[in-house]
Amino acid sequence: MIVLPMITVLSFLAYCPLLCYLDWKYRDIITHSLWVPLVVINVPVLLAGYATGLYPPDLAAISTIAVILWFILMRKGILPGADFVWLSMISVFMVVNPFTSQPFMLMFSFFLVGMTAATFWGIFVDNLIRKHTMSIRIENGLPYLIPISCALVLALVVS
């Protein structure tokens, strides 16, 4: 287990319940200043990781490409603001899995696709079975922070 990435993992895991609750209850995180402690904790860890060689420089390119892809999805209206920020922070700060020392984005991307598909499938089946009487309502959009957070936890635990 690597200590430096563990700081990042613990800070992100601490955010998951709060973000999921706000996304489910309000479909809004209320204020983007919520991200400040996460950035303040993880920027020094990220810089130290690259400076010490713990994080391979190649992974910075993967993080950059991921953020560009999230940005394109946000600009197309597919990915709302807080979801874009959460995915971008995961892409930038979660460089390696501290339990396996493997690049984090590989397994995270795999589980992100799976959790997003499972969420859509769950809503579809719920709407079919309940025949729209008490179906899952997503008038304000899908609470993406929940499948994103589930993918984060699964990528840490399963991979």
| pLDDT given for residue 16 in this prediction | 95
Examine the pLDDT at 136 and tell me if it is beyond 60. Answer: no
Instruction: Quickly state the pLDDT bin for 154 (edges 50, 70, 90).
Output: very high
The whole domain housing 10 covers 3-157
Examine the pLDDT at 153 and tell me if it is beyond 60. Answer: yes
Q: What are phi and psi of 57, to 5 degrees?
A: -60, -30
Contact, 105 vs 91, CB < 8 A? yes
Using one digit for the tens of pLDDT, what is the confidence trace for 86-116? 999 999 999 999 999 899 999 999 999 999 8
Going by C-alpha positions, the residue among 90, 151, 88 that lies closest to residue 115 is: 151
Map residue 13 onto helix, strand or coil.
helix
Q: Is 0.75 topped by the overall pTM?
A: yes
Examine the pLDDT at 24 and tell me if it is beyond 70. Answer: yes
Domain count, the chain: 1
Examine the pLDDT at 148 and tell me if it is beyond 80. Answer: yes
Q: How far apart are CA 33 and CA 31, in angstroms?
A: 5
